[in-house]
Structures are given as C-alpha cells and as structure tokens.
Structure 1
C-alpha cells in the first residue's frame, strides 16, 4: 500500500469523530420520542444491518474462526454497555457535561492499551493528549457556562464515565480482531452480536415504563434520528474508527476523539446559528496541535505482533 493511502486510512477516526459530532444533539432531542435504551437498540440494529449488507457487497463475508467468536461476542458486550450508559447518561445530563467527559475516552484507551497490549506511553504521546484535553476543556468552557458542568445528575455523570471506559475497551480489545481480519469484519460481527443484547434490554425498558412498541411514534423526525444514528454514527463511524486501528496503535487512534466536541460545536454554529468565539478558535487550535504531536510521535513497536495467516498483524 502506498504511503498516501496508509495515511488516508489512518485518518479514518477523524471522519468518525466528525460523524459523532452531532450525535449527542440528535440523541438528546430524540429521547422525547423514543426511550434511550430502545433508541440505542434501533440504532445498533440498523447499523448492524447496514454493515452486514456492506460486508456482503464487498464479497468479503468470511466467517471468523470459532476461536474468535468469544472475542466478537465480548466486543458486542462492550458495545452494549457503551450505548446503554451513553444514552442514559446523556438523558440525565446536559451537553456541556457530555462534551467534557469525552476527554476520558482517549485517557482510558492509552491506559488500557499500555496494560493490555503493551503499547508504549511515550512523553510525546502524553504531551499531545494533554494538549488535546486542555483544548477540549477550552472549547466547552467557551460554549457553555462552566458552572453548569458541575451541576446535574451525578448518576448521569457516572454513566458517561462508564460509557467512556466501555468504548475504550471496545477499541483496545478490538485491535486483535481488526488486524486478524479487517475493520469491516470486526465492526460488523461485533455490532451484530450487540443487537440481541440491546433488544432484551429494550424490552425491559419498555416493560418498566409501561409502554409497548406501538406507543413509539415513528414519524419523520424519529425515523430521521434513527437513520442518522444507525447509518452515520454507527455503521460508518464504527467502521472508520476500527479502520484506523489497522494502521496505528490504539492510543494514537484515540486522540482523534478529542475532535468530537469541536465538530459538534462547528455544526451547531453552521446549522443552528449558534455563536462561536475566540475560545472556540483557541481550543480548536490547541486540540489540533495535540493531535499533530501525537501523530508525529514514533509508532509503537512493543504492541505489534507477528503477521498472521491473513497477512495482517494480530
């Protein structure tokens, strides 16, 4: 593969962060129509169907070996915890809390990557992540009243922390499957595995709320929200996130997560007319410098394994 294509694919997580930029706004708005766990089930079910179709159209629907099924089911478990904790946490908190707590995901990925895969935590990577975290805080502080960050439901904040940790688990434990097969195969089978788990939790939620599927309004607004969450922020974004893992260490991929609140704020300004000021520009530039510092750091060598039979690193 040419060096140019290598860098293009390595930037897949950047595109994923862009697609996730509007996710919190869409999901928060949708909870008035669809309960959070049920919305998560619809999102993942649609994303799984789209990924399965995509995998078939590419002619690469190779069944993973039996020894890898437990790993894929485990990834589906990480997905389930992420979606449930993220959507319930988003419902109980506000946009500023959700945006600020995204900084925990890259930190968790770096820690888990070092503990599980032996990825080196270099000074360069640490400095870049710190810069990006500071930039995220500046962006959020410039758009919201900092006093509201500490106000809200403590359970919601805790759930968002759990969601960040679970997505870090999905990232780090997915590396082996991604490099053994492909990003598309790993994203597809893990999403398919998560669908029945979320389906059962959705039934429990509807039972607890005393509602049935017939009570959920499937009008144009809710269908648009489900389509965006399922096709854009799940099928496309999860594939692009895993695509980056084919080429760079998990800790390097994770730094792109810091761009999510920047993209979300920029979209709000472009589409909703929200104002952005000097804080947004300064924070965005700081995040950009942090991402550049991490991307310029030397590639991790300790976490790489010999090539397997598919020609990809495990």
Structure 2
C-alpha cells in the first residue's frame, strides 16, 4: 500500500457504514407496515448483536470482565435511546424530514467531541464540515421540500433530533472503548447490552398496542427487512463506524455521516428509478470535497490509536 493510499485508508470503513445506512430509512419505513417500530428496532439490534457475537466467538476471544461491562452497558444505553427514538421518529415523519434531519448527527458529534474529549475544532475541520453539510443539503433540496421539515409532526422531528444526538453520544463515549478493546468487541458488547433494554421497550409497545409476538407476520418481506436492518445496517455498519474510530477522532469520523442521505438518494435512483434532481452532481461534489478536507486532518488531541488493534 502506498503512503498516499494508506493515509486515507481509514475512510473506507465509515464510508462503507454510511453506504449501508443509506437504504435504512426506506427499509425501516417498509418494515413498519408489518412490525411496530420499537419492536422492529429490538429485532434489528438483537439480530445484529447475535451476528457480531458469533464473529467474536469464532475468533476465540474471551468475554468482557466484570469491570469492563459498565462501559459496554453505558454504550448500550446510547444504542437503546438512538434506535427507539430513530424508529419512532421515522414512523412519524416523512422522507424529507428523515433525510434532512439525519445530517445533524455530525454537528452533535463535533460539539460533543470538543466538550467531552477536548478535540480541537480547527478551521480545516469546521470548513470541511460546513462544505459537506451544504453539499448534502443541496442534494436533498433537489429531492425533498426543506420547508416541510417542521410541518405538523413536531414530535417526530424532535425524536429524530434526539436520535441524532444519541448516536453522537455513542460515537464520542465509544472512542475510549474502541481504543482499549477494538471496534469489533466494542460494537458487539454494546449491542448485546442494548438488546434486553430494547426488549423491555418492545414488550411495552406490544402491550400498549394490544398485540402479542405471535401476531407479528413472518413473511419473506418481513424477514428480508429484519435481515437487512440487523446484519447490514447494524452488525456490519456499527462495526465499520467504530473501526474508523481506531484511527481518527470522533469529529473526523463524523463527517462521513453526511454521505448517508446522499447514498440513499443514489440508491433510490439506481434501484427505484427516481430522479436525482438538478443539484445532485453539484451537491455531491461539495460533500465529497468537504469530506476530503476533514479526512486530511488525521492527528487530533482526542488520542492517537495504539496501532495494535487487528479486528
């Protein structure tokens, strides 16, 4: 690997995570027609946690010690808040609201990274984030009506903002766990810790709706939705997101989140034949430029990776 390629190799992991998340909004909305949102979130995280646990077990790694579990339980709390708020908010909002509000996650991450980890918000990082944010907004404005973001369903909008802030918390407070335990173990045990918490919320949701687990449909469509959400957008994507944290700061990884809605728009055009909109190329170029600017800033006060992680 050349020095130039190696310098930016870390970007492949969070970019791949963003690509996997690109289709999540459509799949989850599709899944809500069959499975209530919190219950679908529980199935998603439970399947994702099980998949990651199989990988960890196959590697012959020992489980966390009693002293390590509080860290993973804390991260599991962030996961629970993220998934519950995200899926409830997604059910209550429309495509424009979901797509536009998701780009608030990098902003929350940079703010928390500075406040909690002492990461410097340099001029390069601020300008790159702004450039990527503008580019993503241009892409989405060509597809959705920005004026509808706060229309009617303020509860859904608020829940999506809570989900964005909670994912920023999972990213920032997870950095220490990633650097100590590696991306795979951190993603695995935080997901496992979140599963029973989401299970309790799902049980409450089904009780409130007067439904039982036996009434949930087991069809090809529902199975495919759960498989995509659990294996692709949870097990694979969460590991890849945390993998980026092994090499760079939380604020640097955060900029790749801007790619998520752009990937979603691209997939909509490729799979569903939807129009990309007149600003897609210009907005996509601005987003890519912003990500490139931030990715050039590798060294951060938030802590350098130890370099001995292999997962």
- TM class, shorter-chain normalised? over 0.9
Query: Which residue of structure 2 aligns with residue 68 of structure 1?
Result: 68
Query: Which residue of structure 2 aligns with residue 127 of structure 1?
Result: 127
* Maintained 8 Å contact 2:88/2:156: yes
After TM superposition, list the pairs within 5 Å mapping 1:1-314 onto structure 2.
4=5, 7-59=8-60, 61-300=61-300, 302-304=301-303, 311=308
Q: Once the two structures are superposed, what CA deviation does each residue of 1:215-270 show, in whole Å capped at 9, x if it has no partner?
A: 11110000000000000000000000000000000000000000001100000000
* Maintained 8 Å contact 2:247/2:304: no
Shift of 1:91: 0.3
Shift of 1:7: 3.5
Larger deviation: 134-143 or 155-164?
134-143
Cα distance in 2, alignment partners of residues 117 and 65 from structure 1: 25
- Relative to the length of structure 2, the TM-score reads 0.95
Unaligned residue ranges in structure 1 (runs of 5+) = none
* Maintained 8 Å contact 1:17/1:257: yes
* Maintained 8 Å contact 1:6/1:247: no
Unaligned residue ranges in structure 2 (runs of 5+) = none
- Relative to the length of structure 1, the TM-score reads 0.94
Larger deviation: 7-16 or 152-161?
7-16
Larger deviation: 158-167 or 49-58?
49-58
Cα distance in 1, alignment partners of residues 67 and 214 from structure 2: 40
* Maintained 8 Å contact 1:12/1:243: yes
Shift of 1:181: 1.2
* Maintained 8 Å contact 1:82/1:163: yes
Residue 275 of structure 1 aligns to a residue whose secondary structure is coil
Shift of 1:150: 3.0
- The structure-2 alpha-carbon separation of the partners of 1:215 and 1:258, relative to structure 1 and needing over 3 Å to count, comes to same
Shift of 1:102: 1.4
Shift of 1:305: 6.4
